[in-house]
Amino acid sequence: MTYRFDIGFLGGGQLARMSIMAAQRMGFHCLSLDPGRVTPASQVAPSLEGALDDPEKVAHFIHQCQFVTLENEFIPAQAIRQALIIADREPGCLTPGLGTLATIQDKLLQRQAYLTHGAPSPLAVALEGDFSTAFEQIGFPMVLKARFGGYDGKGTRYARNPEEFATHQELVAGGNWMAEQFVPFTRELAVMVYRSKTQTGCFPTMETIQVNHVCDQVFPSGTDASAAAIAAVEAVQGYGLFGVELFETGSGEFLVNEIAPRPHNTGHYTLDWGGVSQFEQHVRLATGLTCAQPIGQEACMANVLGPSAMGATGETGTDWLTRARAALYAAEPAAHLHWYGKEESRPGRKMAHINAVGPDCRARALRAREAFLAARTQNSPS
């Protein structure tokens, strides 16, 4: 069968955009599907508008693409399974696999897979009945998590004692919540893992700083959590590219927090570090190509998050971005700005990131971001 497109991306956000740009450099023709009409991905390649949980829409999309992958793990695995049947396609065209996706989408199944296969992870149990199992096996303090959906802190609550748990009881009684051991970690780490039928490897272990549960900055950790990260991917029988987030405890133990079956915010530094990027590796895995050994320079990343509005009152997007961009490069000429092209800014929304490479890269990335943000709301000179 002849396909109109080589690779289809379910989702049209910045991860699809940067993956598509990597694929295009390799000569691939790409298509994205997203509910939005104008998306980061639609600005760089053809796109279709449609709901990602609509099997008919997804089937129409899949029918046009030789290989299919995704940019987020919240597209219901069952909808994709139905779409593959409608499109008369084999599941093998999809990366990651449906079984892996279904396991990751349910955080309780994800935790159970880790524990069953020996991947170090906090204990978790379902919140059901009179909650006595959670009280006995988890104890306090505990973390309450929605089993489905939720990212950047959404769908997470904390209970330090029974009284605090009672304030969340009505919420969790609705079902599909779990209780998880609270981990008194010393820092948070992230590892990008790639795995095919013949190759398994990792990008460097990075340290991440979270602000209000959203990644703020990423920089080299000076440690190696790759064994725990690979164990997590193997536990969910994963093939493809995975972002694995971990806790490091005071005793030096690495515990798996969460896993994402796609490129990840914590791997954006690889766009400029001089070696293969996470996005090119993602494309190679989705299309069955040999992966590259990820070796590059020391690199750091700082996220640029949106306020309710970008720029000064009455300014166009071009006005303030022109000014902020100039300020960034004046402060740090060797920095790299990656703008996502989102039409709407919201508080906490990821609008861009800034990379710096080489010695003192963390301080330089933060200095570049500070200049960019300071100039963003200044009035233009008359």
Is residue 332 situated within a structural domain? yes
pTM: predicted TM-score of the whole model, two decimal places: 0.94
In a domain, 113, yes or no: no
* Same structural domain, 268 and 326: no
Residues 218 and 272 in one domain: yes
pLDDT tens-digit map of 273-302: 999 999 999 999 999 999 999 999 999 999
3-state secondary structure of 187: strand
Q: How far is CA 29 from CA 66, 125, 283, in A?
A: 10, 44, 12
Q: What is the pLDDT of residues 33-61, one digit of tens each?
A: 999 999 999 999 999 999 999 999 999 99
- The domain boundary, picked from 296, 319, 354, lies at 296
CATH code for the domain in which residue 283 is found:
3.30.470.20
Let me know if residue 357 belongs to a domain: yes
213 and 306 within one domain: no
Are residue 176 and residue 205 in the same domain, yes or no?
no
pLDDT reported for residue 380: 47
Domain tally, the chain: 4
Decide if 115 is inside a domain. no
Least confident span in 208-217, 218-227, 235-244, 305-314: 305-314
Does one domain contain both 163 and 227? no
Helix H or strand E segment including 364:
helix 361-376
Predicted local confidence at residue 308, as pLDDT: 62
Q: Are residues 199 and 287 in the same domain?
A: yes
Contact 45, 22 (CB under 8 A): no
The answer to whether position 153 is within a domain reads: yes
Find the domain containing 36 and state its range: 5-95
Q: Which residues contact 139 (CB under 8 A, 6 or more apart)?
A: none
pLDDT at 320: 87
Distances in Å between the Cα of 34 and the Cα atoms of 12, 24, 75, 94, 248 are: 5, 19, 11, 17, 36
- On whether both 255 and 268 belong to a single domain, the answer is yes
Instruction: Please tell me the total number of residues recorded for the chain in this structure.
Output: 382
CA distance 263 to 278: 6
Which of 296, 320, 353 delimits the end of a domain? 296
What are the C-alpha distances in Å from 352 to residues 214, 343, 355?
13, 12, 10
- Span 319-330, pLDDT tens digits: 889 999 999 999
H or E stretch at 103: helix 98-105
Tokens of 347: 């508080």
Amino acid identity of residue 277, one-letter, is: S
Identify whether residues 214 and 279 lie together within a single domain: yes
